[in-house]
Structure 1
């Protein structure tokens, strides 16, 4: 029998309320990106060679707002399913707890991405972070899909697709500017 994942009660409480479930990722995204706000206008960023498919500057902030809303609400749905499982040791409850732990892990990776990429200007390390975030998010999404009967899939699917694209863009930036 797999061991139980420890998750502090606070981290289970946050997504129980849909406002905090959505608000926490929104605030983390805002606080993560704000210090490097002007970096997109910097000489460093403007001198980078970009891979094909570069989005317009307006698109990422808009998409991240939608993605944070979807991911946050998916965490709300997952914790509601978690709460419906009455017995502590049920396989579904253990799976949901693993999925929620991965949810917070990917939020942490997401939080440090912008400071690594735009703040420290470390394309290689931001690619590592983006790859780990994508892998963690796909794993979380798969766990939530099975444990919630698919109720989180429509919310997390676009997020996973966006992360693949963002990782491609980061990988392209690293590759084209690696010298």
Structure 2
């Protein structure tokens, strides 16, 4: 399956600094408004599942993950550019499409969870983001093992983040709270 991407998205990840800077910059912009929300009564009063790390961990982990995923996108486009087989090119193009899809979902999660306080909708977003990232990692692994290794911590973190989001949604009313918000 050949998934077309606009040329500017391919050009962006061909330049290592842009490939790394794009998710890092967008992630920092997306996360900036959360500082006020995590100090709010709403956030402080959320019941959370076991294992939630201190809030100070998140601004350390996310930049590392953004840098890692950005460089993985660069390695993926390098695999695309050197691919001779149409099936390898197709896998790489689909992986890059999934990369941009998960990045968009990643940027959407913060306004959903912290801005709109829609923990159920954010959970759906988180699940889709994780699924896109897992599949992207599976697709690229045979063609760029380095890219796949860089994505493994992100896959692990997304699993953990989805667990946290799901636990918060469930412990704070789950389906009952979601039905009231609609």
TM-score interval, normalised by the smaller of the two chains: over 0.9
The aligned runs of 1:40-51 (5 Å cut-off) are 40-51=38-49
The answer to whether the aligner puts 1:122 opposite 2:91 as a matched pair is no
- Give, in whole Å, the separation in 2 of the partners of 1:135 and 1:86: 28
Deviations for 1:107-148, whole angstroms, at most 9, x for unmatched residues?
A: 000000000000000110000000000000000000110222
Q: TM-score, normalised by structure 1?
A: 0.94
2:169 aligns to what?
A: 174
Displacement of 1:5: 1.1
Q: Which runs of 4+ in 1 moved over 3 A?
A: none
- Give, in whole Å, the separation in 2 of the partners of 1:56 and 1:124: 22
The answer to whether the aligner puts 1:106 opposite 2:102 as a matched pair is yes
Instruction: Count how many residue pairs are aligned between Structure 1 and Structure 2.
Output: 174
Q: TM-score, normalised by structure 2?
A: 0.92
Displacement of 1:165: 0.2
- Give, in whole Å, the separation in 1 of the partners of 2:15 and 2:40: 39
2:19 aligns to what?
A: 21
- Give, in whole Å, the separation in 1 of the partners of 2:52 and 2:146: 32
Root-mean-square deviation (CA, aligned residues, Å) is 1.1
The aligned runs of 1:1-80 (5 Å cut-off) are 2=1, 4-80=2-78
SS at match of 1:49: coil
> Tell me, which stretches of 5 or more residues in structure 1 are unaligned?
none
- 35-44 or 98-107, which moves further after superposition? 35-44
